[in-house]
Amino acid sequence: MTTRIILFVAVSFLIALTEGLLVWNNYHSEQKLFQDFLEQRAHYFDSLFKTTLENTALQMQQSASYIASISEVQQAFYAGRKAVEAEGGGKGGLQAQMARCQLLSIVSKPWESLERLYDARQLHFQFGLSVTSFLRVHTPDEFGDDLADIRFMIQDALRSEKPKMGFECGRTTCGIRGVVPVTINDLNHSNNSQRSLKIGVLEAETSYHSLLQRVEKSSNAHFAVLLTLNHARETMWSNHFADYLAQNSAIGNYFVESSLHNETRYLLDQSCAQAILNKLGIGWCRIDQRDIALSAFPLRDYQGQNDSRRAPVGAIMTWYDVTNELAQLRKNFHTNIFYAVVTFSLIEIMLLITFRIATQKLKHMLNQQTEVLHELSLHDQLTNLYNRRYLAECLEQETNRVQFRHPANLSLALVDLDHFKNINERFGHIIGDQVLIETARLISNHIRPSDCMFRYSGEEFLILLKDTPLNTAVKLCEDLRQLLAVSTISTLSAGSITASFGVVELTTSGAASIDQLLKYADQALYQAKMRGYNRVDYISNVL
């Protein structure tokens, strides 16, 4: 009898121990799945924020480009620069001030529209190697200072004579900026011809406010932009830095640059949140009877975007409520313990089946959400075409298939809408965006399902034609060109939208790299434009 009891107790103990270990193991597995879900969400937030930041900077760059193209602006800016140089540099003298006032009166109305439509905060004219401030339209009483030691985006725009964009701190504010060169056509009286003279650059800047509104609407999470004290102190004028700190007192080495929520400071004051912020990590905290998932990723300015070795200038903090999700995890754990105590056999089997089903469902849900997030990261938000990020991966797969695996042809067509800038200037960016959407849809509907179409840049598209020789690709592009030329797109009449095409081919015997393939396609497109636009051109026998 004693032996039976001992054996029963021993078996019962082993069953209980096995069940307990099973319950504990499943609890930690669910925690691991939950942590994986948080990490996937954090990666999505990071990608969404960077994409929206890039689009916002491009919007500022396009706005600055429009104002810089106004001839009256060019003339007044040119007169002001000459006056400053003649009057000793810096702030200049009376003539420089007169030119500054004239320029201010010319850009006042466009500046008001820029503020109203795009939440712009700055419009700034600068020139020279020392990056001399000629006119801050937003604060016209502050001018004449040199910005060469802090405004690297402007230096690059002046040096390369090309537009630049990104996030950067200045003397007065930190913001999302677009910088474009400003030139003027000058008559050369010796040979009665015109020449283009470089005047300086024009910069438009906005805050993170509207950007945060867009990303929070898309993600159902809260965002905050944080800057390090050291970076702000090194770039801003001392009085502006003092104003920043007066409005946003420091939290450790950071202060809140932008947020839409009053709870941000309280949240960041919590030690748990500070630990996640300091290591730029992912986790969750129990705050005021709520479970909050947090993630922090680095904020890089213009220099940091071009050189990843540079330290971040701040951080992006995200958070959202996961009280229900964690409550469900805890409830599952307690329920499992209860059923394990009630019975060591039947309930154990039932729980095992239940856990397996629950785990499979959770994994299925996470896999579905991962697929959705992956698809979102591969598509352009405006046109729903594949984006440039996916292009490199797709091109590498296809070129490897053509060159090493499957004897086949691969053709590439680069499409550029002719004179698209005029569409935006005449009809506005809303119509311009609609033209891009409908053009993308029109072309996509007339290529094979096996072919891929990408948004390559602003008004450029790229078509990847699998198993297609050059002559077939050229004929297809010619058909598409004619179709566009006779189609009614958006509110514009037929014939208003035309496109130029550049086509190249990669064959099994070709040895071109992806960069070379894109380069030749761009050259073919350039040839089409040089020969009068609205045509198809190609490069053969080069790959």
Domains and CATH numbers, the chain: 2-33+326-377 (no CATH), 51-209 (3.30.450.20), 219-318 (no CATH), 388-538 (3.30.70.270)
| Residue 109 burial (CB count, 10 A) | 9
**Are β-strands 290-299 and 314-321 bridged in parallel, bridged antiparallel, or unpaired?**
antiparallel
In terms of Cα–Cα distance, which of 416, 447, 434, 414 is closest to 534?
Answer: 416
Cβ–Cβ under 8 Å, residues 187 and 215? no
Structure tokens, 95 = 């003539």
> Is 70 exceeded by the pLDDT of residue 375?
no
Strand partners, 466: 410
pLDDT band at 442 (very low <50, low <70, confident <90, very high): very high
User: How confident is residue 491, by pLDDT bands cut at 50, 70 and 90?
Assistant: confident
pLDDT at position 340, please? 65
CA–CA dist 328, 414 (Å, integer)? 51
In terms of average pLDDT, the best of 346-360, 399-413, 526-540 is 526-540
Confidence of residue 355 (pLDDT cuts 50, 70, 90): very low
Give the pLDDT mean for 126-138: 92
pLDDT of 358 reads 47
The reported pLDDT for the residue numbered 508 is 62
Sign (positive/negative) of CA torsion 42, 43, 48, 49?
positive
Residue 305 has pLDDT above 50, yes or no: yes
**Residues recorded for the chain:** 543
Average pLDDT of the segment spanning 422-443: 92
Per-residue model confidence (pLDDT) at position 354: 53
* Per-residue pLDDT at 345: 64
- Range with the poorest average pLDDT among 29-33, 83-87, 404-408: 404-408
When pLDDT is cut at 50, 70 and 90, the band that residue 191 belongs to is low
- Indicate if the alpha-carbon torsion angle 426, 429, 434, 437 is positive or negative: positive
pLDDT higher than 60, residue 356 = no
Q: How far apart, in whole angstroms, are the C-alpha atoms of residue 131 and residue 168?
A: 15
**What span, in angstroms and rounded, lies between the C-alpha atoms of 395 and 401?**
10
Q: What is the pLDDT of residues 69-79, one digit of tens each?
A: 999 999 999 99
Percent of the chain past pLDDT 70, that is, above it, reads 88
Q: Report whether pLDDT(530) > 50.
A: yes
Residue 187 pLDDT exceeds 60 = no
Element (H, E) at 440: helix 429-444
pLDDT number for residue 373:
58
Share of the chain above pLDDT 90, in %: 54
Residue 529: predicted pLDDT = 93
Spell out the residues 6+ positions from residue 254 whose beta carbon is closer than 8 angstroms to its own: 226, 227, 228, 229, 268, 277, 314, 315
Mean pLDDT of 333-344: 72
pLDDT band at residue 192 under the 50/70/90 scheme: low
